[in-house]
Amino acid sequence: MTDLQACHALLTRLDAGGKVTLSEVREAIGSSHASSMNVELEHAAALKGEAQNASNGLRDYIEQIRVADLFNGRSESAKSASVGRSLLQKAESRYEHALERLQELLQFDSSLERHLDRPMDLGNEGGFVAPDVEAVPRIKYHARANGKHTHKGIPSRVELMRSALQAAIADPITTASAQPEPSQQQLDEQRAMLKAKFKALRSV
């Protein structure tokens, strides 16, 4: 059952920057909400592993894009048009070098493309990708919004605990019989759904 008083207390502690353990949250929210939280935790852990693989395999590309983005950002806030144009040209040059490096990396290991938020030839019949902030592929695990490509960051453990507490407060389980303890089969099915969801993500 959901212990609303405990949920509110833990949520207040989290918001104040205090330490809250997973076991405390599980006990407060009840088994049904805890089961859902566990699935989200497993999903986040899987994504973190993929993000680490992307960082290792695409390190050069990620760094060059970061520098290009810095030049692009400075061009937008330049005090004069001439300085802005100069910085934008530097950004475009950096984006071009980054794309060239990305092509090299993908030729060496084509599986790295699964970490990108779009294929290299998206929206371009000839396979050309414009060297600008909107068109270059991004690592999908990095929180960022560019046009129609919106990236959500991988939620942290604290964020998932807060979300679970808020869900339990909004929809408390008031009786033990209302939400029985999930069976091993149900837990296995949830994990299978998570694996299928993760497999679909990798194929995008």
The DSSP string of 169-190 is HHS---STTTSPPPPHHHHHHH
CA distance 184 to 124: 48
How high is the pLDDT of residue 190? 73
pLDDT of 33 over the 90 cut: yes
Q: What does the chain come to in residues?
A: 204
Please name which of 196, 66, 61 lies closest in space to residue 116, comparing C-alpha atoms: 61
Average pLDDT over every residue of 32-54: 89
CA distance 5 to 22: 17
Average pLDDT over every residue of 142-170: 80
Confidence class for position 122, pLDDT limits 50, 70, 90: very low
Question: Looking at residue 156, what DSSP letter applies?
Answer: P
How high is the pLDDT of residue 181? 60
Q: What is the pTM of this model?
A: 0.64
How high is the pLDDT of residue 199? 62
